[in-house]
């Protein structure tokens, strides 16, 4: 590109001979013009690692410090990424609308909100034990604000895609569930913050957690049907996009974790006269139902994990880095969280031991993907004209 060339001029002048061209020495400003919502899959994964570490059944000295490091890193990344995408929209406001219409990017708008939920989860896990009651009250308010924002995203994001875009079933992928993904982490969030809440606040959060998780799981089942129909009638996704298949693990995994965790809280939250059944232990019944339903769904999540793993291994030699490699982490974190909750419910040290091994593998996967992400930045495989986000590979 000529010296002093402004990438924004390309967008404003469709006839420009430089439109769609980025030189080998593209400026930071030009590269940030390609910063998309799919980058927040990185903050989802980093926050998920912090949450999994906080929930470990076998604690050792320094483990929570490791979790806090991931939590702090997650906040730093979230702030930096928010500034980067804000800069992109500030330089070209028209891209705000485009980012919410173009499916390869728009579907990942929900990843920003999932990242927020995981930060709230970490605030409870790492912040409340070291702070006063003010943070407990703050988390109650933030929980309901988040639920309201997630509902708006789920409604209007899907409505936008229904009206403005045509997405054939032959291209269906697990990423289609992303607009409702924020609801899939509300249940675990509710279960985490309930123990420190006063009863008058804990019960509404408990009910809200079940209701919101139900919406997320129900819409996910609809998307599961479409995704499986695509797999039955078409080939697997392109090798570089196959890590995105792991997104299908998340809905069942996080819902399993939510049901078991909320069930464990039921006996301390549900009043004796709940549902006008004074002579029936509703809390104990909900605890049993939650544990059984959670175990039922965990194997569903594992089946999707195994299916995705085989698909990825089959195309591993043809894979190049895309942002959906972060799907190696955050959906499988849900599978791990569910296993932790089931192990605690059954009081099984064997299951807890497996969970520890799963956590180690998750951390190793995070390190591998993080290094691959940084390497891809320097090699201009992402945040560059015609790469990754620009050719739809993030799906």
Distance CA 325, CA 393 (A): 11
Q: Thinking of the domain 34-165+173-388, which architecture would CATH place it in?
A: Alpha/alpha barrel (1.50)
Contact, 258 vs 188, CB < 8 A?
yes
Res 394: pLDDT:
43
Would you list the domain boundaries of the chain? 34-165+173-388
Res 365: pLDDT:
96
User: What single DSSP character describes residue 383?
Assistant: S
Res 390: pLDDT:
52
pLDDT in tens, the chain (395 residues): 443 334 344 344 444 333 334 446 667 777 888 888 999 999 999 999 999 999 998 888 889 999 999 999 999 999 999 999 999 899 888 888 888 887 778 888 999 999 999 999 999 999 998 887 899 999 999 999 999 999 999 999 888 888 877 788 888 888 899 999 999 999 999 999 999 999 899 999 999 999 999 999 999 999 999 999 999 988 888 888 899 999 999 999 999 999 999 999 998 898 877 888 777 888 899 999 999 999 999 999 999 999 999 999 998 888 888 898 999 999 999 999 999 999 999 999 999 999 999 999 999 999 999 999 999 988 888 887 766 555 444 44
Tokens of 232: 């039955």
Res 142: pLDDT:
96
Res 124: pLDDT:
94
The kind and range of the H/E element at 51 are helix 40-54
Asked whether the CA dihedral 123, 127, 132, 133 is positive or negative, the reply is: positive
Res 189: pLDDT:
96
């Amino acid at each position: 590109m000529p010296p002093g060339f402004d990438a924004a001029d390309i967008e404003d002048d469709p006839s420009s001979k430089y439109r769609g061209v980025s030189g080998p020495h593209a400026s930071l400003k030009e590269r940030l013009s390609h910063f998309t919502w799919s980058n927040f899959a990185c903050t989802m994964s980093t926050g998920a690692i912090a949450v999994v570490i906080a929930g470990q059944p076998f604690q050792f000295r320094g483990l929570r410090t490791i979790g806090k490091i991931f939590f702090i890193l997650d906040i730093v990344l979230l702030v930096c990424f928010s500034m980067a995408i804000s800069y992109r929209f500030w330089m070209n406001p028209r891209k705000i609308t485009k980012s919410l219409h173009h499916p390869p990017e728009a579907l990942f708008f929900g990843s920003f909100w999932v990242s927020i939920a995981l930060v709230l989860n970490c605030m409870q896990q790492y912040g409340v034990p070291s702070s006063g009651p003010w943070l407990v009250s703050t988390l109650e308010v933030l929980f309901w604000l988040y639920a309201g924002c997630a509902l708006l995203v789920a409604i209007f994001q899907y409505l936008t895609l229904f009206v403005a875009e045509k997405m054939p079933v032959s291209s269906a992928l697990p990423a289609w569930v992303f607009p409702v993904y924020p609801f899939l982490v509300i249940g675990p969030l509710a279960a985490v913050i309930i123990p420190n809440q006063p009863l008058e606040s804990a019960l509404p959060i408990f009910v809200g957690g079940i209701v919101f998780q139900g919406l997320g799981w129900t819409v996910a089942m609809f998307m599961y049907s479409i995704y499986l129909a695509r797999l039955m009638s078409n080939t697997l996704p392109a090798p570089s996009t196959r890590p995105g298949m792991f997104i299908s693990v998340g809905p069942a995994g996080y819902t399993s974790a939510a049901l078991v965790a909320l069930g464990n809280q039921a006996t301390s939250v549900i009043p004796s006269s709940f549902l006008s059944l004074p002579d029936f232990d509703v809390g104990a019944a909900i605890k049993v139902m939650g544990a059984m339903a959670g175990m039922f769904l965990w194997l569903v999540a594992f089946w999707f994990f195994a299916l995705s793993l085989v698909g990825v291994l089959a195309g591993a030699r043809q894979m190049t880095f895309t942002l959906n490699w972060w799907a190696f982490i955050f959906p499988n974190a849900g599978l791990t969280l569910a296993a932790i909750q089931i192990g605690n419910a059954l009081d099984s040290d064997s299951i807890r031991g497996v969970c520890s091994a799963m956590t180690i593998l998750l951390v190793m996967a995070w390190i591998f993907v993080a290094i691959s992400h940084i390497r891809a930045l320097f090699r201009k495989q992402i945040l560059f004209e015609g790469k990754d986000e620009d050719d739809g590979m993030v799906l």
